[in-house]
Structure 1
C-alpha cells in the first residue's frame, strides 16, 4: 500500500521533498526521465517532491540509487522518511479544521522562531480569547458556533508554544491601525492591550508598532509570517493568509525577499519600549 500522507505536511516531510528535488536537479534529470528509468509515474514523483506524500521505502531507495546518493545521504534520508509523518501537537478535532490551517499549526509547532507582521489584527499568538472569538466571528460570518469555538480553541492552544521550557521566539510587528480597530468592544480591546504589554515583557517575545506617523510603508501590502526551525537543514517557510487562500513559500528568493521586508518594517517601527508606551496609551483610551 502506498504511504500517502494522512494529514498536513510536517517539517521532516518537507525536508525530504526538498532533498529529493535537490538530488534530482544535481543528477541533471527531469521528472519524465526519472519516470522512464524507474517506472515511477510523474504524478507520484510530483507528490513526493512537493511533500504531498511520503515515498515507500523501495521507491525512495530506487530514487536514491538513480541519483547516485552517497551512503551518508542514503542513511539520513531513509531515517528522515521513517519520521516524516510524525506530527507536532495536532489534536483529533483539528481534522475538522481547514487543511491549510492544520498545516500552519504543524509547522508553527516545530518552529524555533516566528517573525510575524500584521496590518489589521493583533498577532494570533498574542490574542486574548475574547479578541480571538470576535475576530473569527467577524471574519467568518457564515461559520457555525461549533466551527468558531474549534478555531478559538486551536488558537488558544497554539499560545502554549510561548510558555514551554524552551519557548518559541516571537518577533511581532503590528501596524498601529490594529490597536485602534474596536474588535469585540472597548473592554475586550483594553484586555487585549494589557495582554500585549504583558507578552512584550517576556524575554523571548518582542513587540513593535508601526505608528501612523511612519506614513506609507511596505507592510501595507499585507500580513505575513516567517518561520525558521531548529535544524539548519530545514528551509525557512513563509505563510501568507489572503482572501484567495493560504500560501506557503519556501524558495530562497522568496525567503530573502520577505526577510528583507521584515527588516525594513522593524527599522521603521517604534522601538519595543516606545511601542509598549503607545499600547499602554491605547489601553487607557479603551477604558
Structure 2
C-alpha cells in the first residue's frame, strides 16, 4: 500500500505540473497563499502537507477545476487511489494507480524484471498475449482498455520530460515464449531498438551470472527531480503492491540493483544476445 509520504509525493507532483502548465513561478504561488517560496518547493517535493484552504487557493490560481481538483483535495485529505487514470478504472487495479501516477512523474527509473518484459517496453502483440494468459476471463472491451492504458504509459518515453531509464532483464525474460515465435521476434527487435536510445540503458542478466541470491525479486526504483533522497521502491505481486520510501529499505534495493548490474552483461553484449534470439544477428 502507499504510505502518507508517497501520497504527498503524488500531490506534490500534480501541483508542480499544474503550476508549470499555468506558467506560474514558485514565488508567485507562494505570494498567493502568503507563504515563503520554500514552502511551495517543499510541497512540490512531497516534503510537507498543505491545508485545504491553501490548496483550494492554489488550484483556483492554477486553473485546476472539476475532477482533477477533487482528486488533489482527496490526496490532501487521505490519498485516494484514482488520479489521472479515472477513464480506465476497470483496467487498472486500485493498488497500481499510485504506481502509474508516480511513473509518469519520475525523472529516472531503474527496473529489474526476472520474468516478463517491462510494461513500458512491451509491443502491442505481446501485451495482448500477456493479457490472454494472465487474465483469461477479460472481455474484448476490457482487453482493449488495458492495451490503451499500457500504450498511454509508454507515451512518457517520447514526452518533453522523458525519464532516464535503466533496465536489467533476466535471460528468462527474453527466452520465455509469450504469444508465439512471431510475437517474440517483434518484441525482441523492439527491445534491441530501445537499447540504442541514448536515454535507455538495457542489460541482460544471463543464467550463468553470479547474482548472490534475490535475483528472482522484481522491483522498480523511481527517482524524482534527479534527487536520490526522493527514491521510492515499487514491489508488485499478483494482487497487491508495496511502496518503500524508508531510507533503509531503499538502500537495500539500491545495493541489490548495483549487484545485479555488476553481474549483468554490458549493453552491447546484451543487445547482441537479444538480436541473436530474434534471429537478426
Same fold flag (TM > 0.5): yes
The whole-number CA distance in structure 2 between the counterparts of 1:233 and 1:274 is 29
Matched, 1:104 2:99: yes
Give the equivalent residue in structure 1 for 2:72: 85
| Aligned residues: CA RMSD | 3.2
1:260 match? 255
Secondary structure in structure 2 of the residue aligned to 1:284: coil
Q: Is the 8 A contact 2:10 2:102 kept in 1?
A: no
Cα gap change, 1:77/1:274 in structure 2, threshold over 3 Å: closer, same or farther? closer
Equivalent residue number for residue 65 of structure 1: none
Q: Which residue of 1 aligns with 2:19?
A: none
Corresponding residue for residue 141 of structure 1:
136
2:9 aligned residue (2, 11, 19): 11
Q: Does 1:94 align with 2:96?
A: no
Mapped to 1, the partners of 2:184 and 2:279 lie a distance apart of: 10
Q: Cα offset for 1:200? A: 0.5
Q: Answer yes or no: is 1:222 the counterpart of 2:217.
A: yes
Corresponding residue to 1:125 among 101, 120, 145: 120
Distance 2:276 2:212 in 1: 23
Residue 189 (str. 1) matches residue 184 (str. 2): yes
Selected match of 1:250 from 231, 245, 250: 245
Task: Report if the CA contact (8 A) 1:94-1:102 is conserved.
Answer: no
Residue equivalent to 2:195? 200
Q: Tell me how far 1:10 sits from its aligned partner.
A: 6.1
Alignment-derived partner of residue 161 in structure 2: 166
Do 1:200 and 1:276's aligned partners in 2 also have CA atoms closer than 8 Å? yes
Work out the CA distance in 1 between the residues paired with 2:174 and 2:274: 7
Tell me the TM-score normalized by structure 2.
Answer: 0.71
Q: Show the counterpart of 1:273.
A: 268
| Equivalence for 2:24 | none
Alignment partners' CA distance in 2, 1:274 and 1:233: 29
2:129 and 2:84 mapped to 1: Cα distance? 24
Name which of structure 1's ranges 159-168 and 122-131 shifts more when overlaid on structure 2.
159-168
Shifted more, 130-139 versus 173-182: the winner is 130-139
Is the 8 Å Cα contact of residues 173 and 266 (structure 1) preserved in structure 2? yes
Distance 2:237 2:119 in 1: 15
- Shift of the alpha carbon at 1:100? 1.6
Query: What are structure 2's unaligned runs of at least 5 residues?
Result: 1-5, 14-34, 59-70, 76-81
Deviation at 1:278, TM superposition (A): 0.2
Tell me the residue number matched to 2:109.
114
Q: Per-residue deviation at 1:267?
A: 0.3
Question: SS at 1:267's partner residue?
Answer: helix
Counterpart for residue 30 of structure 1:
none
* Secondary structure of residue in 2 paired with 1:189: helix
Distance 2:224 2:101 in 1: 12
Match of 1:214, SS? coil
Kept in 2, the 8 Å contact 1:11–1:110? The answer is no
TM-score relative to the length of structure 1: 0.70
